[in-house]
Structure 1
């Protein structure tokens, strides 16, 4: 049966710690499970009281974080007045890996912190909080104020504290990252960034972000890793064999044998990459057009929660899967020219040719970190991703 990307959402309603029933299913315009704004709005209308979505409970069908029938848990702000169906789930005793915004008390604490910081800034909230996205990698909510919207972003323990990374980037290249209004560990209040996300790279003007990001990375290379995880090519080569043993049940016999052979080649590949003359530096970790925001004049880089210490080719290659071949050729050429201008004598083109297997090794390791850090009901978001990235690494190595 062919999979459809249509998502339906059923919402189980909790009030004062009790499961009262469910509303839905609703047809959602966005197929992505993590996009919960329209789900919260539809469920609130059906329940007759404002609801806040807490977490995904289960999903039937769909894959890759989209499609199928998703079941969510939401907390009600008061006793619902709408008709509720029987709840499709049983009461939950909790889980040690549950993220703080995935429970009623935890989400209330996040929002209370944001309200307190806004009051301190003289920008108290002027209306209801609007949930935008919530899943195991982040919770993003919009707080309206008289001076424009402010964004609360909360991230998990396995994410880097974004405010510290943004501070680094701002020292190297002012205006390249969002403005931090307040921060507390892995929660941050961000000023609004006008414009549109650059899915499809619609305008040539947004491509200046490639030059500005390369310049920032060249400047940041002298800082050293600090709080950033070591994801240098040598570190990836060292960590990969242990991951392969964990993934052995998910790989076929030939795939496992090929992956073991690749593991033996990675140290030499890391050495070749080092010979290209580009420095280890801060890497964004997910540097694709969906994390670039363009206002018609300047592009801002968003979402630094996957930042690490590594080779800049990781970011240089990241836009490719999101672009047409023609547009990728433009972005690739821009990246190569930027680094040649910054470091005469380096070989960025060769780096892009060498790096693909290591890029996929990086993502295999990162996806496994996600799975290790989240409760089982959230696993459908990332299930199979580490093994799939190993397969992509094998194809990339074969293509070389």
Structure 2
């Protein structure tokens, strides 16, 4: 279907007008680099997308017609002809991401520029916006020593820099290099290559084996969220007893509550509680054919590592899944003799979905209403996915 865009543009908070509809190459709503580029060409000045306002006809985070609020960083040389209603743009919301507000975005970019200047590598050109949504703001800053990536995350995200540092002490090549970190933000060195969605067998095996080896030795960083069995089981029960449970039938709720009782069975498989990535799919690995680097630790927590084994398996093409399962199980048996990783995968499959349902509800509880379309039905859909694997 593809994505078309209308941008409601302001400068210094004052309305300028609407640009669009226009088509962009990428279908994903959060990928706004092409949107900012089109607006820059249209208006003759740098423009950054602040936030999503509404979506028509799209679903699953992609496609449809998307309306954004965008900010021109300088007075435009060409003013949009179509006027806009400023009332909705000026309204604030307590859950709005800092990078979705003009003042917050300026502060964030200023912080990055100051850090890089102090390090002797000031930005040599305008910032390039790549992604903005309720889970992250991602920007690329050019420097003479190579590009730097700025990532900002919401209050419900894990402190990524702390997790990266914990793994870097064991295997520096496993994780990105952090230049600097602040409150819910960090600057990262550029990683060459591409995301490993179509990972080869050697890349899959390398990523899984090195990740498991690090998990067996890592010391959990301070402040890591607790997702161990008693904690996550209680949170699933609370989810099922709340509004999400109200969307299920009585029979579905009963089966889901029965599944929660399996968490002690998962613990009996002998896998240790450790730092779990939380979203360990190949799209969060980056490489150029050699051992990949693992990225995006916003969902990291202390818990059972079966969640990572399930995640990598489920995101690979059907024909490559046995490679990941075998590598993951063999690695855990090697590092933890006597454990039962294959049994953990079988027991953990529905439990993993229940854990993700809780996480998706955290997203919904932590973001402003216009952004909830990204995750709106995810908790109940994911609970039902767990039931299909009961």
Equivalence for 1:186: 184
Is the contact made by 2:9 and 2:16 (CA closer than 8 Å) also made in structure 1? yes
1:37 partnered with 2:40 = no
2-side partners of 1:366 and 1:344: how far apart?
A: 31
1:50 partnered with 2:50 = no
Structure 1's 203 and 123: CA in aligned 2 closer, same or farther, altered over 3 A?
A: farther
Is the contact made by 1:233 and 1:358 (CA closer than 8 Å) also made in structure 2? no
Is the contact made by 2:248 and 2:380 (CA closer than 8 Å) also made in structure 1? no
TM-score by length of 1: 0.94
SS at match of 1:190: strand
SS at match of 1:172: coil
Q: 1:235 aligns with which of 231, 237, 242?
A: 231
Equivalence for 2:84: 87
Equivalence for 2:167: 169
Is the contact made by 1:160 and 1:228 (CA closer than 8 Å) also made in structure 2? yes
Structure 1's 322 and 264: CA in aligned 2 closer, same or farther, altered over 3 A?
A: closer
Equivalence for 1:371: 364
Post-superposition shift, 1:17? 1.4
1-side partners of 2:105 and 2:64: how far apart?
A: 26
Is the contact made by 1:23 and 1:47 (CA closer than 8 Å) also made in structure 2? no
Equivalence for 1:140: 138
Aligned residues: 388
2-side partners of 1:55 and 1:167: how far apart?
A: 31
2-side partners of 1:275 and 1:225: how far apart?
A: 25
Write out aligned runs for 1:1-400 (5 A). 4=1, 6-84=2-80, 85-87=82-84, 90=87, 91-202=89-200, 204-220=202-218, 223-224=219-220, 226-248=222-244, 251-253=247-249, 256-267=250-261, 269-397=262-390
Is the contact made by 1:259 and 1:394 (CA closer than 8 Å) also made in structure 2? no
What residue ranges of structure 2 are gaps of 5+ in the alignment?
A: none
Deviates more, 1:232-241 or 1:152-161: 232-241
Structure 1's 318 and 329: CA in aligned 2 closer, same or farther, altered over 3 A?
A: same
Post-superposition shift, 1:257? 2.6
Post-superposition shift, 1:209? 0.8
Post-superposition shift, 1:249? 6.8
Post-superposition shift, 1:260? 2.9
Per-residue deviation, residues 213-265 of structure 1 (Å, max 9, x unmatched): 00111112xx3574111112222211112111323476242xx4322333244
Structure 1's 361 and 303: CA in aligned 2 closer, same or farther, altered over 3 A?
A: same
1-side partners of 2:349 and 2:327: how far apart?
A: 18
Is the contact made by 2:161 and 2:178 (CA closer than 8 Å) also made in structure 1? yes
Per-residue deviation, residues 336-382 of structure 1 (Å, max 9, x unmatched): 11111111111111111110111111110001100110100101111
What residue ranges of structure 1 are gaps of 5+ in the alignment?
A: none
SS at match of 2:389: helix
Deviates more, 1:231-240 or 1:211-220: 231-240
1-side partners of 2:245 and 2:307: how far apart?
A: 28
Structure 1's 276 and 107: CA in aligned 2 closer, same or farther, altered over 3 A?
A: same
Post-superposition shift, 1:88? 6.0
Is the contact made by 1:24 and 1:43 (CA closer than 8 Å) also made in structure 2? no
TM-score by length of 2: 0.96
Post-superposition shift, 1:193? 1.1
1-side partners of 2:61 and 2:95: how far apart?
A: 20
1-side partners of 2:204 and 2:267: how far apart?
A: 29
1-side partners of 2:244 and 2:329: how far apart?
A: 37
Is the contact made by 2:270 and 2:340 (CA closer than 8 Å) also made in structure 1? yes
Post-superposition shift, 1:168? 0.8
**Alignment RMSD (CA, Å):** 1.5
